[in-house]
Amino acid sequence: SQLAEENPWALSVHEGESVTVNCSYKTSITALQWYRQKSGEGPAQLILIRSNEREKRNGRLRATLDTSSQSSSLSITATRCEDTAVYFCATDGGGNNNAPRFGAGTKLSVKP
């Protein structure tokens, strides 16, 4: 079973709108990472948020972390067509020797 799970499975918005992707995870963590995968490419990291942080920003991206509910969110403001991608969260299971575990991802489509 997956240690992290994104929802919803798919989203569609128009350019300029804001959108939020959610992530729930099942174990303790030292950090949670958000990745984006565009068609034909491997995933690329967007934001890393540590367990003692509640919010992290990177340009139009904002990630939040709530360790009490074991959940995180990634918000994108002023979306662009090039934000069309699959978005993943990844957790480390709380250990330094653990490989990051990903969910199935949220497929975001941004239309003109």
Partner 1 sequence: NAGVIQTPRHKVTGKGQEATLWCEPISGHSAVFWYRQTIVQGLEFLTYFRNQAPIDDSGMPKERFSAQMPNQSHSTLKIQSTQPQDSAVYLCASSPRLGGQNTLYFGAGTRLSVL
Task: Using the rule CB under 8 A, give the single segment among 15-23, 41-49, 55-63, 68-76 that binds partner 1.
Answer: 41-49
Using rule CB under 8 A, residue 31 touches partner 1: yes
Beta bridge partners of 58: 61
List Cα–Cα distances, 67 to 20, 27, 32, 101, 108, in angstroms: 18, 10, 10, 17, 25
Distance CA 83, CA 95 (A): 31
Distance CA 41, CA 44 (A): 9
Q: How far is the CB of 92 from partner 1 (least distance, A)?
A: 2
Identified binder of partner 1 from the candidate list 23, 24, 76, 92, rule CB under 8 A: 92
Identified binder of partner 1 from the candidate list 24, 87, 91, 108, rule CB under 8 A: 91
Closest to partner 1 by CB, 14 vs 50, is 50
User: Sign of dihedral through CA atoms 108, 87, 43, 4?
Assistant: negative
Residues 34, 74 contacting (CB under 8 angstroms) = yes
Place of tokens 């992707």: 21
Using rule CB under 8 A, residue 112 touches partner 1: no
Closest to partner 1 by CB, 78 vs 104, is 104
Size of the site for partner 1 (CB under 8 A): 32
**Residues interacting with partner 1, by CB under 8 A?**
2, 29-33, 35, 40-45, 48, 50, 88, 90-105
